[in-house]
Structure 1
Amino acid sequence: MRRTLFSLLLKKQKLITWEAFCVPYTATGRKLALETGNRRLATVGLGRTTFDRWSSGSWYGRPRGEAAQILERMFTQPVEVLFSPAPDASESPVAAESVATRIGSRWPTSSMLIPAGGPGGTWEITGRRHLDGTSAAVHLLPVIRQDEEVNPDDLSQEEQHDLDGFLRPARRGFVVGVEERSGDLDLYVREAAAARRPGRPGLQVAGALSIPSAYLLDDLTYGIVWALTQLDDGLLSDDQTLDSERHIISTHLSLPRSAPSRLLVDLTAAGSSWMGSAFCAQHIQRELTNARAVPTFWTREQSGEEAAPWLFFKHKLDYLQELTRFHSTSAQTVRVFCLPEAEVAQSERYERVLLLLSIALMERFGIRVRVIPQPEYSEVDGVALMPGQRAVVANWVRVPGGALWAADSTSARGDLRTYATAFADAQGNDVLSGAPDSPSRLRALSNYLGLDWGWLTSRCRSLGEYGVAGLVRPRSRLLTVNALDETLLFLGKLTSDQ
């Protein structure tokens, strides 16, 4: 964990900023050009990003060519020595290996790669069965807890320079505050974009970063970061394709039934999910335009990975808002989830948190959620049923045959009886049936999912008060954290004794 000799010499010679370093660097190049006759030495430039990599203390590469000659003249050491760990350098104040071990052991879908010698590295995030995975830059920072926030523990000028260099680029990055206590580590996460903006809460006047203690990395915050970063990066990768292929949705809306192949358009898992979900939402809204009866809904999501789009896709929020027209003092829409015990048992705790948050979002909209545990109902279509009249089929989760979605609308009596039977069985086998209101249903669901209700409501309350955007924010225009923020506050108001 020792820093490179080069980074220590910069600090000793007070050359830790790019502006200060470029003056002797350029002068040395010109001097060498005269001595050697190599005119290129006089024109060698140095970009800010390159300097930041060199000075971070953790860069594994080696400058070459004219740049190497200039550095060797400036510091009278070979570049191999300059960019190796300094023999007498003190250990890094942040135990990067311990952080990486803690994250990898607690969340198997995560790993942090922190090169020896510095605070910077990469956070690798992988999906389970549906999402593609992604990565982000990370910067470890030693912190101490002070009331409702954690603050850097006496950053040196060099450490502050390293932090400023990390925050400057516009790519996705996270500051990870590391608090060591009683032989253990607490980790706090803040998105670099939220930290770099002047005037934002958390950035002190002196430039030192503070992180709300609500951003403690646990199964709630990890689940949010895990899902949102994968959806966001996938949609950003597909942005042009989704924009240019919008006609696919409008074209298929005019058909009586449709199930286009995923091969029709080249998309990531996130992009395919968004297109399928967007089509199904519009299909259902269109088919229910003149409906007078109150529909009941069957939803195919069974894991946090499948359910996360409810929390982040903008059109999902609009869709739920539009369906509130069916609510009245005497009627309530019902939405059924099939959550087999085996699926619950094999899912990670953070995924179960995401699943509960998604269901809580619906309860907040006044939707009565039912949960059926029988696995034989796993393949029931996603459907909006108006009993005795019509069934609107809209599948985009686990669609057979590799289709983007499977949509239909039927009034056939046999189909209506089949769906009506499934809904009747859901009512008779609902694991939440003894709970008369939203708070009691969500608490019963928490027990079914093996989640601590007191911990969950307390953490939702603290995180909801600060908002998710400072923890991780979407960059895609197709995503929002508004629904999640409101759901966290909704759950946070439910006390642990309800």
Structure 2
Amino acid sequence: MGRPTLFHVELKRRGWDSWEEFCIHFTAGGRALAELTGQRRLATASVGRTTFERWAQPTWCGRPRSEAAQILEHIFGHSTDELFSPARTPAELRQATTEAAAVIDDRWPSTSRLIVPATGAAGMWELTGRDSLSGTAAAVQVMTAVHEEDGDEVRVLDSDEGLKQFLRPAARRGFLLGVAEHAENYGLYVLDAASARRTQAVAAARGNPISIPKAYLLDDLTYGILWSLTQLDDGLLADDQALDAESHNLDTYLALPRSAPNRQLLELTSAGSSWWGSAFCAHYIERELQSAGEIPAFWTREQRGAEAAPWVIFSHKIDYLRRMGRFVDGGQTTSRVFCVPETAVARTERYERILLLLAIALMERHGIRVRLVTDPAYADMDGVAFIPGQKAVVANWVRTGEALWAASTTSSRGDLRSYRTAFGDAEEINILISPDPKGRLEELARYLDIDWGWITTRCREVAEHGVAGLVRTRSRLLTSDGLDDALSFLGTFAPRI
């Protein structure tokens, strides 16, 4: 006997293998489809017992037609050709997931390993860090999925009992990875396990499989978000108690004329050190600018994606950008200078460069005009808030060596002259010369070798579903709001079809 059809397998899996039970769902599906399409005949379509028993035979090779075919495709999420063709064996399904794991390992070197057990149990997705990210790991369940040309979702073939076990509430982070075969390769779609659990509850009530938005296709945009947010989130969860205890010393540090505490004083992860350094510098700058009567200019040290990711993920960074909105006044606005030499671009992967683009897009979204210089002579320029003729507030937490941060304020004429020269040079050699945010961001994407039409389209797609479904934050110190805001802003520039 040949292999049973997918229709036969699905009937067994869903418990619809009796004619009476099947008719309940067929009738409901017909009515729902009639409402969607306006085709009234679908609402009254029915299937006789003899017809159903013929369809349900394990090796029946015919094809339902007309209204029946439309309703079957609607309720099962597969074409009639797929439904009445032999279902793939578990070995074939497992081979597809193994090959997909190899695709991820090859495409993103910072995936140090993606382990997919042959048993169908949950595997492990290990991520390698860079700069302020030190790596982490998450559980992953790899399942085959069906990619439909119509619609904005892929449907996961979730008959594997291992998936039910995987989606039970757990302390560890997990991802559901749907693998959909295309003509010559695989489409990989990611869903956070918490989102998958909620999706499964809704789908099960309707007798449907789990679906993943096509917007969550795993590519350089979604991988970069997952890669950075997961590492920062896990690091901050590990440091939660230490950071809470240390926060009580904030006022003590702020009272000092200058400070540069050694990292070894605190046992923090790279993520925790970044958060604490960033949080202190934000507080320090805001305190020093309280009485500023003029609009300051800013210089920031971030050059790569791992360094820039906190701007769109740390809650205090989002709040800081919002509060800096007070320096946007009519035609005048504050500016922020980045120095990103060509060597920094060349040695980073595209997903990291996308993170830098998202951070700068969020600044432009808040009315901050971003300038970009590429001269390596300015690569180690201080992170500084500069008010010409008054003072310079130095606050570094990126690439500060053994110090968590380096903060001080100066009104020395020599120092002010040096900073004035640097900011003046930045205006002269700035490569983002367009008068509007769209033009500047497009110039930036071109410099970072990121296709503008592709990235803006993908940002719009992901923004429509939100980052939280792809990968959710768990630490109280993080938010996905900044990412959603940056994605939405870039998405407004996507070409309209």
Could you state the TM-score of these two structures normalised by the residue count of structure 1?
A: 0.79
The CA deviation string for residues 13-72 of structure 1, in whole angstroms up to 9 with x for no partner, is xxxxxxxxxxxxxxxxxxxxxxxxxxxxxxxxxxxxxxxxxxxxxxxxxxxxxxxxxxxx
Alignment partner, residue 152 of structure 2: 148
Where do residues 79-478 of structure 1 align in structure 2 (5 Å cutoff)? 90-94=90-94, 95-110=96-111, 111-146=113-148, 147-153=151-157, 155-156=158-159, 159=160, 161-170=161-170, 171-197=172-198, 205-206=206-207, 208-400=209-401, 402-433=402-433, 435-478=434-477
Check conservation: 2:199, 2:210, Cα contact below 8 A: no
1:135 is paired with a residue of what secondary structure?
A: strand
1:470 is paired with a residue of what secondary structure?
A: helix
Check conservation: 2:281, 2:407, Cα contact below 8 A: yes
Q: CA, structure 1 residues 119+178, in 2 after alignment: closer, same or farther (shift >3 Å)?
A: farther
1: distance between equivalents of 2:101 and 2:146?
19
2:469 is paired with a residue of what secondary structure?
A: coil
* 1:198 CA displacement: 6.3
* 1:196 CA displacement: 1.1
Check conservation: 2:200, 2:210, Cα contact below 8 A: no
1:297 is paired with a residue of what secondary structure?
A: strand
* 1:457 CA displacement: 0.4
Q: CA, structure 1 residues 139+413, in 2 after alignment: closer, same or farther (shift >3 Å)?
A: same
* 1:120 CA displacement: 2.4
The CA deviation string for residues 383-434 of structure 1, in whole angstroms up to 9 with x for no partner, is 000011100000000014x10000000100000011111111111001112x
Check conservation: 1:175, 1:192, Cα contact below 8 A: yes
- Residue identity in the other structure for 2:397: W
2:467 is paired with a residue of what secondary structure?
A: coil
2: distance between equivalents of 1:415 and 1:238?
37
The CA deviation string for residues 217-253 of structure 1, in whole angstroms up to 9 with x for no partner, is 0000000000000000000000011011112322100
* 1:326 CA displacement: 1.0
Check conservation: 1:204, 1:210, Cα contact below 8 A: no
2: distance between equivalents of 1:172 and 1:207?
25
The CA deviation string for residues 455-494 of structure 1, in whole angstroms up to 9 with x for no partner, is 0000000000000000001100000001110111111011
* 1:128 CA displacement: 1.9
2: distance between equivalents of 1:216 and 1:393?
41
The CA deviation string for residues 75-122 of structure 1, in whole angstroms up to 9 with x for no partner, is xxxxxxxxxxxxxx8515142321121111110000201122325210
Check conservation: 1:177, 1:189, Cα contact below 8 A: yes
- Residue identity in the other structure for 1:148: D
Q: CA, structure 1 residues 253+371, in 2 after alignment: closer, same or farther (shift >3 Å)?
A: same
- Residue identity in the other structure for 2:190: V
2: distance between equivalents of 1:131 and 1:312?
13
1: distance between equivalents of 2:212 and 2:374?
40
Check conservation: 2:215, 2:461, Cα contact below 8 A: yes
Check conservation: 2:372, 2:431, Cα contact below 8 A: yes
Check conservation: 2:460, 2:494, Cα contact below 8 A: no
* 1:129 CA displacement: 2.8
* 1:145 CA displacement: 1.8
Quote the sequence identity (%). 56
2: distance between equivalents of 1:202 and 1:294?
53
- Residue identity in the other structure for 1:116: A
1:197 is paired with a residue of what secondary structure?
A: helix
The CA deviation string for residues 247-277 of structure 1, in whole angstroms up to 9 with x for no partner, is 2322100111100000111100000000000
Q: CA, structure 1 residues 496+207, in 2 after alignment: closer, same or farther (shift >3 Å)?
A: closer
* 1:181 CA displacement: 1.4
Q: CA, structure 1 residues 336+197, in 2 after alignment: closer, same or farther (shift >3 Å)?
A: same
* 1:320 CA displacement: 0.7
Following TM superposition, the consecutive aligned residue runs of length 4 or more in structure 1 with deviations greater than 4 angstroms are 198-204
Could you state the TM-score of these two structures normalised by the residue count of structure 2?
A: 0.79
- Residue identity in the other structure for 1:368: R
- Residue identity in the other structure for 2:134: D
- Residue identity in the other structure for 2:430: D
The CA deviation string for residues 142-195 of structure 1, in whole angstroms up to 9 with x for no partner, is 111231000023x43xx1x22111000322100000001123111000000111
2: distance between equivalents of 1:233 and 1:377?
33
2: distance between equivalents of 1:320 and 1:367?
9
Check conservation: 1:140, 1:176, Cα contact below 8 A: yes
1: distance between equivalents of 2:193 and 2:90?
27
1: distance between equivalents of 2:168 and 2:92?
22
1: distance between equivalents of 2:400 and 2:417?
22
Alignment partner, residue 484 of structure 2: 485
Check conservation: 1:202, 1:212, Cα contact below 8 A: no
Check conservation: 2:115, 2:123, Cα contact below 8 A: yes
Gaps of 5+ in 2: 1-11, 13-88
* 1:442 CA displacement: 0.2
Check conservation: 2:97, 2:144, Cα contact below 8 A: no
* 1:496 CA displacement: 4.0
2: distance between equivalents of 1:97 and 1:173?
18
1:380 is paired with a residue of what secondary structure?
A: coil
Gaps of 5+ in 1: 1-11, 13-88
* 1:318 CA displacement: 0.8
